[in-house]
Structure 1
Amino acid sequence: MLFPLPELTDADREVLAGIDEMRRELRYQVQDRPTKWTSGLRKFLTADAVAASNSIEGFRVSTADVQDLMDGEQDVDVSTENRQETLAYLVSIHPWADGNGRMSRSLQTLMIAREGVLAPEFSSIEAWLGRPGNTWEYYRELERRGPVSHPDQDVSRWIRFNLTAYHQQAQTVRGRMSRSAAVWTSLMSFADSAGLDERVVSALHDVALVGRIRRNRYEQAEGLTRQQSQRDLRDLTAAGLLETVGRTRARYYTAGPRFPEGVLEVARTPMTLSQPYADALG
Structure 2
Amino acid sequence: MLFPVPSLDAADRRVLDEVESMRHELRHQVRAVPVKWAEGLRKFLTADAVAASNSIEGFRVSTVDVADLMEGERDVEVSEENREETLAYQRMMTYIQTLHDVPDFSYGKGLLNGLHWMLQGHRHTAGKPAGQWRRGPVYVTDARDPSIAAYTGPDAHEVPGLMAELVDWLNAADEAHPLVRAAMAHLHLVSIHPWSDGNGRMSRSLQTLMIAREGVLAPEFSSIEAWLGRPGNTWEYYRELGARGPAYRPDQDVSGWIRFNLVAYHQQAQTVRNRLRRSGQVWTALADFAAGGRLDERVISALHEVALSGRVRRLRYEHAEGLSKQQAQRDLRDLVAAEVLESVGRTRARYYTPGPRFPTGALEVARTPMSLIDPYRT
Q: Is 1:6 aligned with 2:6?
A: yes
Q: CA deviation at 1:118?
A: 1.1
Aligned amino acid, residue 352 of structure 2 = Y
Aligned amino acid, residue 53 of structure 1 = S
Aligned amino acid, residue 236 of structure 2 = E
Q: CA deviation at 1:229?
A: 0.7
Q: Which has the larger radius of gyration?
A: 2
Tell me what 2:66 maps to. 66
Aligned amino acid, residue 250 of structure 1 = A
Q: Report the Cα distance in structure 2 between the residues aligned to 1:168 and 1:159, rounded to whole angstroms.
A: 14
Match of 2:138 among 97, 116, 124: 97
CA contact (8 A) 2:36 2:320 kept: no
Query: Percent of aligned pairs with the same residue?
Result: 73
Q: Is 1:243 aligned with 2:342?
A: yes
Instruction: Output the TM-score relative to the length of structure 1.
Output: 0.95
Q: Report the Cα distance in structure 2 between the residues aligned to 1:15 and 1:2, rounded to whole angstroms.
A: 25
Q: CA deviation at 1:147?
A: 2.7
Q: Report the Cα distance in structure 1 between the residues aligned to 2:371 and 2:320, rounded to whole angstroms.
A: 30
SS in 2 for 1:17: helix
Q: CA deviation at 1:32?
A: 5.2
Instruction: Output the TM-score relative to the length of structure 2.
Output: 0.72
Q: Report the Cα distance in structure 1 between the residues aligned to 2:338 and 2:34, rounded to whole angstroms.
A: 31
Tell me what 1:54 maps to. 54
Aligned amino acid, residue 7 of structure 2 = E
Tell me what 2:235 maps to. 136
Q: Report the Cα distance in structure 2 between the residues aligned to 1:273 and 1:2, rounded to whole angstroms.
A: 34
After superposition, give the CA deviation of every residue in 1:126-158 in whole Å (9 maximum; x if it has no partner): 110000000000000001111322222000000
- Consecutive unaligned residues in structure 2, runs of 5 or more: 93-117, 121-129, 140-192, 194-198
Aligned amino acid, residue 130 of structure 1 = G
Tell me what 1:109 maps to. 208
Q: CA deviation at 1:232?
A: 0.4
Match of 1:255 among 324, 348, 354: 354
Q: CA deviation at 1:121?
A: 1.2
- Consecutive unaligned residues in structure 1, runs of 5 or more: none
Tell me what 1:15 maps to. 15
Q: CA deviation at 1:273?
A: 0.2
Calculate the aligned-residue CA RMSD, in Å: 1.5
Q: Report the Cα distance in structure 2 between the residues aligned to 1:231 and 1:75, rounded to whole angstroms.
A: 21
Q: Is 1:161 aligned with 2:260?
A: yes
Tell me what 2:45 maps to. 45
Match of 2:304 among 187, 194, 205: 205
Tell me what 1:25 maps to. 25
Q: Report the Cα distance in structure 2 between the residues aligned to 1:21 and 1:35, rounded to whole angstroms.
A: 23
SS in 2 for 1:114: helix
Q: CA deviation at 1:36?
A: 2.5
Q: Report the Cα distance in structure 2 between the residues aligned to 1:82 and 1:92, rounded to whole angstroms.
A: 13
Aligned amino acid, residue 47 of structure 1 = A
Please say which of residues 252-261 and 95-104 is displaced more in the overlay: 95-104
Tell me what 1:174 maps to. 273
Tell me what 1:86 maps to. 86
Q: Report the Cα distance in structure 2 between the residues aligned to 1:4 and 1:30, rounded to whole angstroms.
A: 36
Q: Report the Cα distance in structure 1 between the residues aligned to 2:293 and 2:339, rounded to whole angstroms.
A: 12
After superposition, give the CA deviation of every residue in 1:60-92 in whole Å (9 maximum; x if it has no partner): 100000001001100001111111111121523
SS in 2 for 1:166: helix
Quick one: structure 1 residues 102 and 225, their matched pair in 2 at CA, closer, same or farther if it must change by over 3 Å? same
Please say which of residues 206-215 and 93-102 is displaced more in the overlay: 93-102
Q: Report the Cα distance in structure 1 between the residues aligned to 2:32 and 2:214, rounded to whole angstroms.
A: 17
Q: Is 1:217 aligned with 2:316?
A: yes
Q: Report the Cα distance in structure 2 between the residues aligned to 1:121 and 1:2, rounded to whole angstroms.
A: 29
After superposition, give the CA deviation of every residue in 1:245-277 in whole Å (9 maximum; x if it has no partner): 110000010111110111100000001000110
Q: Report the Cα distance in structure 1 between the residues aligned to 2:256 and 2:45, rounded to whole angstroms.
A: 27
